[in-house]
Amino acid sequence: MWKKSYLAMKIDGGSSSFGSELIASDFKELTAAAKKLAIHVGIVAGFGTSFLECLSAIAAIYLLVLDRTNWKTNILTALLIPYIFFTLPSFLFSFIRGEFGKWVAIMTLLLRLLFPSRFPDWLDMPGSLVLLIVVAPSFFASTLRDNWIGVAICMLIACYLLQEHIRASGGFRNSFTKANGISNTVGIILLFFYPAWAL
């Protein structure tokens, strides 16, 4: 049989203060590491949000182009205009909301009023988007755009468009198997990325 032996540790009065200093320095290092982690998570989350916001805006523009070329369904694709309004990246939104957007909006409006027969149909939606961005009150342009309400509106638009696309395709399976249904379905699914991440 083996006999158990224990090693007894003697503690001096001075060594207990040394141990508490070690523990305090470890806690300081842990808090510094936690702060750095929080900063890096914030940077990654901000980059992820802006990247997904750009991706969703590009997907909405892609769906608008598809609607004008070969989609041609009875789905209310005009809802993509407010979706783009809420998901357009901030630098591009502020650029369009500035002097450039005002000139584009006035030219679009004049062309539409003075030459309605020569105004192309495919320019209606982009012209409406620029006009919406330029004339939107600051409540919509700043408050709702950067709030959870704008994100919820984007989620509702994406859900509605997916439901209508599945219904127009003749079912869930057909929306993924038809030749033009796959690209439309992928574009609509991309609309969910930003609202799901931001909510």
Closest among 61, 55, 35, 195 to 125, alpha carbons compared:
61
pLDDT in tens, the chain (199 residues): 566 666 555 555 555 566 677 777 777 888 887 787 777 666 665 666 778 888 888 888 888 887 776 655 666 778 888 888 888 888 888 888 889 888 988 988 888 888 888 888 778 888 888 888 888 888 888 888 878 888 888 899 988 988 888 887 777 777 777 766 677 788 888 888 888 887 7
Quick: pLDDT tens for 40-50: 666 665 666 77
Instruction: Return the C-alpha torsion angle 52, 55, 57, 61, nearest 10.
Output: -170
Domain assignment of residue 102, given as a range: 55-198
Question: 13 in a domain, yes or no?
Answer: no
Specify whether the CB–CB gap between 165 and 188 falls below 8 A: yes
Give residue 115's identity as a one-letter amino acid code: F
Question: 17 in a domain, yes or no?
Answer: no
Question: 46 in a domain, yes or no?
Answer: no
Q: What is the pLDDT of residue 11?
A: 55
Q: What is the pLDDT of residue 169?
A: 77
Question: 33 in a domain, yes or no?
Answer: no
Q: What is the pLDDT of residue 136?
A: 84
Q: What is the pLDDT of residue 156?
A: 92
Q: What is the pLDDT of residue 1?
A: 54
Name the token pair of 92.
């591009």
Name the token pair of 175.
């929306």
Question: 15 in a domain, yes or no?
Answer: no
Question: 1 in a domain, yes or no?
Answer: no
Name the token pair of 174.
């057909």
Question: 126 in a domain, yes or no?
Answer: yes
Specify whether the CB–CB gap between 147 and 195 falls below 8 A: no
Q: What is the pLDDT of residue 164?
A: 84
Give residue 186's identity as a one-letter amino acid code: V
Q: Say how many domains are in the chain.
A: 1
Q: Is the pTM of this model over 0.75?
A: no
Q: What is the pLDDT of residue 4?
A: 63
Question: 177 in a domain, yes or no?
Answer: yes
